[in-house]
Each structure stands twice: as C-alpha cells, then as structure tokens.
Structure 1
Amino acid sequence: MKFRLSAVAALACLIAPLAAGGEGLTTPVKLPAYDAARAACRAPPGLQKKLVFVQDNKREFMQGVGRGLEAAARARGISYSVALADNDPVLMVKQVGGIATDKTGAIVVAPIDPPSLAPALKKVIGAGTYVGAIVAPPATTVLNAPQYLTGKVLAEAAANYIRTRLGGKAKVVLLTHDNLQFLAPRFTAMRDTLRTLPGVTIVADISPATVDKEGGYRTMKTILLAQPNIDVVLGADTVVLGALRALREAGKARSDQFLGGIDGEQEAVVEIKKGDSPYKASISLASSIFGYAMGQQAADWLDGKSIPQAMDILPKALTSSNIADYERDTANPGPVYADPARRASYLKMYGNICFDTRENYINFPWSSETR
C-alpha cells in the first residue's frame, strides 16, 4: 500500500507543473439556475471529436453511466471509448495523462482518489477539454446528488418499515463511504433519521474496502461473526447486494428484513420485483439518464455552446408502482433528455460555462444543499 500511494503522489508531482488554466473556483459559491439561452462562445480548437469515459470499476451503476454516454455520443456523431481503471488510482492518473497527450475533446470521469487525480484533470481542463466529473471536482461540469436528501429518502423508507413491520425494533448495519467526503452527507442523514427510533441499534457502521459487491460481501461476512441476526442493511446498492449474498450464504436472509440501497442498480430492481426478497428499496439516481446528459453536454462544449457548471441528479424511491416507468426511461434516455418536463424530474442544472470561460471550472466540493 505504501508503494501504491507513493506512485500516485509521484505521478501527480510530474503532472502538476504542466497544469494549465489556474485553480478554477476554489471557494464555494451558490450557482444560479442554468440559462440555456446563454450566448455560445468559441469551439475548442485542435481537439478530437472524441468522448472517453474514465471509469473506476464495472459496477452496474457505472455501466449505466457508460450506456448513457455511448448513446449520446452516437446521437451526436462523436466517437466513444472507455478507459477502465479497475479500482486502480495509479492507472487512472496515467489514463488521464494519456488523454491530455492525444488531445481528446471530452472526458467523463468517476474518480477513485480525487486528490491524486486533480492535477491531471486541471491540465486537461486548461487545454480546453470538456471534463465531466461524477461527484468529485475539479471539472468543467460536476454531477452530484443532493446527498443528504438521498440518504434521508432511503432512511425514511427503512424507518417506516421498522415502525410498521418490525415493531419499532431493529439491528441495523450501515455500509458507508465516509472516507469519500462528497458522499458522507448521505450517511449522516441515515444516522440522523434512525436516531429518532429508540428501538433501533446500529450494530455496525463501517466503510467496505471497495465500493462493489465483493466489498459488501466481505464486510458482511465479518459482521455476521459478531452479529448473526441483522434486520436492516443500508448503503449503496452494489455493497448491499454483496451483503445480501453473504446473508444468504450464512442462512441469515429473511423475507422480513429491510435491505435498501442507493443507485437504482438493475440487480437491486430485480430483487425488489421478486416480492419476497429481503431487498425492499433502492433510491434511483438514474445513471444512464445523467450519463446521456453529460454526453450531450460534451458534444455541446465541442460545438462552442454554453453548458451547465453543475447538475443535480434527483433521488427517486423505486416502488412496485413506478419501477416500470423507471425501467422504460433508463433503457432509452434520449427521449427523457429531449422532453423538458421528464428531464426535470431527474435532473436540475446550475450555472453556465463554455470554452472561453473555462477558468471558472468547479474546484470545490459542490452541492446544491446548504446545511
């Protein structure tokens, strides 16, 4: 681990002197609503009409982002490819460095280690490339969810279940990402909500080593050694799905449990539709829809148009009554993006930026929430 981190730091130091375009907006500001009528500016010169998704890993949520990006690129006639880092922050820094060298016109990135990646992204932004980032800056456009609200929506669904189905008592496991500061508010919201139920005991509050099914599986296996009877598990869909596998292998999965996640991953949706699964809820962040939006904005950027500096992806609690509509929309995000009313139910856009104003890129932990 020491070698791995030092390698990241060494790469960052090599790239840092090459960074262009300044530090961007480092002090938090409240962005106005996006103005679609804002005048266009110059198109970035000398860049390829090419979109690359710098993807952290293959979890379903990120695969959904990729499907949306690819559909948008195809609709706009720009090439599309994926650079998969497979949870390796050193590799991701190298990938972004290579993108800067080959004059790729647009990238969307899901950062593994935001501090080590930041110098490479600043260089790319300074060169005029569109950078869309999922949650963590720096970026031309930052995509985030109202994280506290997202966690609260899930926790309130769990709290209601505990009151009505579990007699107000439950042993709860929180599989967190508190080491990722941008996602920490969702788990603060869960703790705040569950604290209002006197019969609830949080028996484990822990961040899995990796944000994927294997991380959730290994963590839950360890928890079950000390706490064999669990009533509620909350976290991101991918880690909660891993926890469900561990519960089933141990013979500790029950139909009256409440497992709930965030991201609206397809496997979670399948579990919810079964009816007798412990998996009861998923908070959709509609990754293919925001992926399509970022792909369209990348193409707009390359055409010299003004695009949003930031976007909220609005949380939706998936239920048996709305899953069919959700599956229709996420399977074909193009018509959703083209319809202002449908788009507004998933996305909210803020600020304006284009090639000529790229020095105003977001370089602080942006959120629309003020707490």
Structure 2
Amino acid sequence: MPDDTAFGRGQLNRRGMLRLGAAASVGLALGVPLLGACSVDDGTGTSGEGEPIGDGLTEKQDLQPFDFDGEAGEVPDLPKRIAWANTSDAEFFLQITRSIEAAATARGLEFITAIANDDSARNIEQIETFLQRGIGALCIQPLDANAQAPVMKRAIEAGAAVFSLVTPPSTSQVVADQYQVGNVQGLAAAKYITEQLGGQANVVYFNTDTIEVLKARHQGGLDGLATAGAGVNIVADVQPEALTQDGGFNAMNTILQANPDVDVVVGGDTYCLGALAALEAAGKARPDMYLSGIDGDEQALAAIREGGAYKASFAFAYPLMGYAWGQFAADWLEGKPVPQVMQFNAIELNSAETIDAYQADMAAVAETWTAAEKYFTMLGSIRYQERDQFINYAA
C-alpha cells in the first residue's frame, strides 16, 4: 500500500501500498515461479471459466462481526490448491509466502506461487496460468487494479475464493481503517506531549496526501494531536518529495532551517527514520523528543529499543494475514464461511517488551492464529454458495 513502508528503501513503493491502501506501479522485471508444493497437475484443473455472477457488492456495507462457527454450506468441486500471486521477492512478501504455505500444509492443501517482480502484466500472466491449472483460492495484492480486476473476477466466477489486500474485486478483502490508524498515532503523541512535555510541543507531521485513501489517516492524526490542547504548534505539515528515507531526511533538513526547535515528528516509519537521521546530523536529536511511525519497520523497532528519540511504531500483522488466508482457503473448500473483510488493528510498539511480544507472535503464526482478534477485526460472512456477494468496492 506510500508513506508508511519499510523493510528497506528499495521496498518502499510496494510495501507502502499494502498498508497505505492504494495501488501503484513500480519497476519492471521478470519473475520466476517458485515454491510449488507439487509439480504434477492432478488433472482437476479448469480453464478458470465460470458462470457470470454479476457485479457483487458495489456499495459500502454495514457488515456484522464474523462468526467463526457459522454454518457450512455447499462444498465446491474445486482443486484443493491455493495460489499466491506474489509481486516481489522482498522479505516482507516472503514472510507472507511462508505463512500461507504453513497454513496450506496444515490443512492439506497444495500451495503454488509465482513472483511478478512488480510487473502487473507478468502478474496477470501468472494468474492466468493458475486458473488454467485449477485453483480453489487465489491470494493477491494487485499491482494495477484496473488491469487485474477482470482476471480476479474470473477467478471468483470459477468458484475460487479471492483473498485481496486492499483492492477489489475479492471474496475477502484485507483493509485498514486509515482514519483510526492515524488517530491512534496522533492520540499517542498527544499523550506524550501532555505527560512528558508539559503540553507544549512544536510538531512536524509528514503526510502522503497524493494517496487518496491516506487523506483519512492524515486527518485522524491531526485530530489525535489536537487532543493535547492549544500548546500543540504544528510547524510543518508536508509530504516529502520522495517516498523514501532520503525524502524524509531532505524534508526535515528544510523544516529545521525555519523551525530549529522541533519536539515531535509523526508520519510513516520511512519518513520518520529519515527525519531522525536529519535531526542527528544537525545535532538536534534529543532523548526527550517524540518520533513515531507506522508500519513496524525493522529499523524503527531497532531505534525504539535504543530508547532515544524514536518512541513508537504502529505495526500490522502481515505474517498472520498470510496464515489467515491459508486457513480461510481451506474453510472455503469445505463449504465454510470466510469473512468478507479483515480489518487490521494497528499495534503500538513502544518498548522492547511490546516489540518482543509482537515479533514472537509473528514468528509463531500457527499459535497466534488462536488469538487473531488481537490483530484483526473480521467482518461479514460469505460461503461458496454466496460467492456472488463478493466485495467490489474499497472496503
């Protein structure tokens, strides 16, 4: 999904898209299939052609909490095979790969995947190959929503469950409430300003308003900061020129020229890590400052452990998401319901203890799955026989 990204500068655009909730295009390269659990087709594949099922749900729905014990219905006659149309070999995506595969193995499903290396045309070709072979579920984070929507709908029409990160059409869509994410971050900063800075603070906010969905995050952050009262002085509310740590570094250098006394910096981890580097280079970093980002970037977590100016990062449980996809794929193939929406709960990581707990949970997703509600709010319900009720809007 972008401002809150990480796992390194080179992964920024793609990784940011995932959590920021937008689609972007990046560089082109050839991808190669990997991790096929079985190299021999069992003959149950289909061409991916199915009966037309209409346009699905095109307007936002008021969905009820998902019931894990919902009644099973019609069992689809589909291959017990789950495909992951991966976009990149970045470690972040490979963590998702390993989690999907672990769940698939646990539930007796064949797992296949291919990497498109940020080439949407290549990604579509790979999905076409999956459909020709025959699949019961498709996991995807679309690179080009408009180009990939038709093939995603074809998978749904063929009966497969389509698990999508952010972008419709999909049987089950993973999203984040961007206003809430920003608001939680802003409220945490306001609490620090009130309790540690005497209610007075010069604040820098890094936004990413060129990503439409992130405007809500921006507003949520500002509303949260405002709860600290009149002593909050937002000296800069800007979008750096590049979605990289260098972009954050350069923007912070410019801000410091006009406002040398900054107390609080909030935004995405990538921007804020760059800002921290600029503050350190200028001799302006102080232990009593408050910097916080979004995404759970490994560099940000390391900075938090050091106990300096970087105080918090708000993370999302992507490895657990992959495990959930594998589990729900198996449920779909047994006629059981799956949630129409999986909404991330942003987890505040503000100490070595909270980071240790989070990382332990993400390293043991099979065990963490039993307490998935800590990391996700699951809404709606859909079974194979109700596949025409797929989500066809940005949830």
**Bigger mean CA offset, 131-140 vs 109-118:** 109-118
352 and 90 in structure 1: CA distance in 2 versus 1, 3 angstrom threshold: same
TM-score between both structures, scaled by the size of structure 1: 0.79
193 and 54 in structure 1: CA distance in 2 versus 1, 3 angstrom threshold: same
1:88 Cα deviation from its structure 2 partner = 4.0
For residue 384 of structure 2, what is the aligned residue in structure 1?
A: 355
**Bigger mean CA offset, 180-189 vs 51-60:** 51-60
100 and 243 in structure 1: CA distance in 2 versus 1, 3 angstrom threshold: farther
103 and 233 in structure 1: CA distance in 2 versus 1, 3 angstrom threshold: farther
1:87 Cα deviation from its structure 2 partner = 4.0
221 and 37 in structure 1: CA distance in 2 versus 1, 3 angstrom threshold: closer
**Amino acid of the structure 2 residue aligned with 1:365:** A
For residue 13 of structure 1, what is the aligned residue in structure 2?
A: none
**Bigger mean CA offset, 90-99 vs 353-362:** 90-99
Tell me whether 1:108 sits opposite 2:139 in the alignment. yes
For residue 103 of structure 2, what is the aligned residue in structure 1?
A: 72
Contact preservation (8 Å) 1:56, 1:110 = no
1:154 Cα deviation from its structure 2 partner = 0.9
2:173 alignment partner, SS class = strand
Taking the aligned partners of 1:244 and 1:64, their CA distance within structure 2 comes to 27
**Bigger mean CA offset, 109-118 vs 236-245:** 236-245
Contact preservation (8 Å) 2:312, 2:348 = yes
Taking the aligned partners of 1:160 and 1:200, their CA distance within structure 2 comes to 15
Tell me whether 1:38 sits opposite 2:66 in the alignment. no
For residue 19 of structure 2, what is the aligned residue in structure 1?
A: none
97 and 51 in structure 1: CA distance in 2 versus 1, 3 angstrom threshold: closer
Contact preservation (8 Å) 1:53, 1:66 = no
1:224-279 Cα shifts (integer Å, max 9, x gaps): 45223454433333454455456556766544433212232433322211212x32
Tell me whether 1:308 sits opposite 2:339 in the alignment. yes
286 and 92 in structure 1: CA distance in 2 versus 1, 3 angstrom threshold: same
Identity among equivalent positions (%) equals 34
Tell me whether 1:343 sits opposite 2:365 in the alignment. no
1:355 Cα deviation from its structure 2 partner = 1.8
65 and 182 in structure 1: CA distance in 2 versus 1, 3 angstrom threshold: farther
For residue 251 of structure 2, what is the aligned residue in structure 1?
A: 223
1:132 Cα deviation from its structure 2 partner = 1.0
Contact preservation (8 Å) 1:73, 1:299 = yes
357 and 283 in structure 1: CA distance in 2 versus 1, 3 angstrom threshold: same
1:307 alignment partner, SS class = coil
**Bigger mean CA offset, 353-362 vs 309-318:** 309-318
For residue 117 of structure 1, what is the aligned residue in structure 2?
A: 148
For residue 307 of structure 2, what is the aligned residue in structure 1?
A: 275
Equivalent pairs counted in the alignment come to: 342
1:30 Cα deviation from its structure 2 partner = 0.8
For residue 234 of structure 2, what is the aligned residue in structure 1?
A: 201
46 and 283 in structure 1: CA distance in 2 versus 1, 3 angstrom threshold: same
Question: Where do 1:251-270 residues align within 5 Å?
Answer: 253-270=285-302
**Bigger mean CA offset, 156-165 vs 27-36:** 156-165
Q: 1:24 aligns with which of 56, 61, 75?
A: 56
1:109-158 Cα shifts (integer Å, max 9, x gaps): 22333333322211221112221112222211111223222211111112
Taking the aligned partners of 2:273 and 2:83, their CA distance within structure 1 comes to 31
2:81 alignment partner, SS class = strand
TM-score between both structures, scaled by the size of structure 2: 0.75
261 and 55 in structure 1: CA distance in 2 versus 1, 3 angstrom threshold: farther
For residue 138 of structure 1, what is the aligned residue in structure 2?
A: 169
For residue 193 of structure 2, what is the aligned residue in structure 1?
A: 162
Q: 2:87 aligns with which of 55, 64, 67?
A: 55
**Bigger mean CA offset, 47-56 vs 22-31:** 47-56
**Amino acid of the structure 1 residue aligned with 2:96:** V
Contact preservation (8 Å) 1:49, 1:105 = yes
**Amino acid of the structure 2 residue aligned with 1:234:** V
Taking the aligned partners of 2:216 and 2:163, their CA distance within structure 1 comes to 22
1:183 Cα deviation from its structure 2 partner = 4.0
Contact preservation (8 Å) 2:207, 2:238 = yes
**Amino acid of the structure 2 residue aligned with 1:133:** S
1:192 Cα deviation from its structure 2 partner = 2.2
Contact preservation (8 Å) 1:42, 1:355 = yes
- What 5-or-longer segments of structure 1 have no aligned partner? 9-16, 210-214, 367-371
**Bigger mean CA offset, 231-240 vs 104-113:** 231-240
For residue 12 of structure 1, what is the aligned residue in structure 2?
A: none
2:104 alignment partner, SS class = helix
Contact preservation (8 Å) 1:312, 1:348 = yes
1:227 alignment partner, SS class = helix
Taking the aligned partners of 1:180 and 1:100, their CA distance within structure 2 comes to 32
1:316-345 Cα shifts (integer Å, max 9, x gaps): 21232433322221210111213xxx3322
Tell me whether 1:364 sits opposite 2:393 in the alignment. yes
Contact preservation (8 Å) 1:20, 1:125 = no
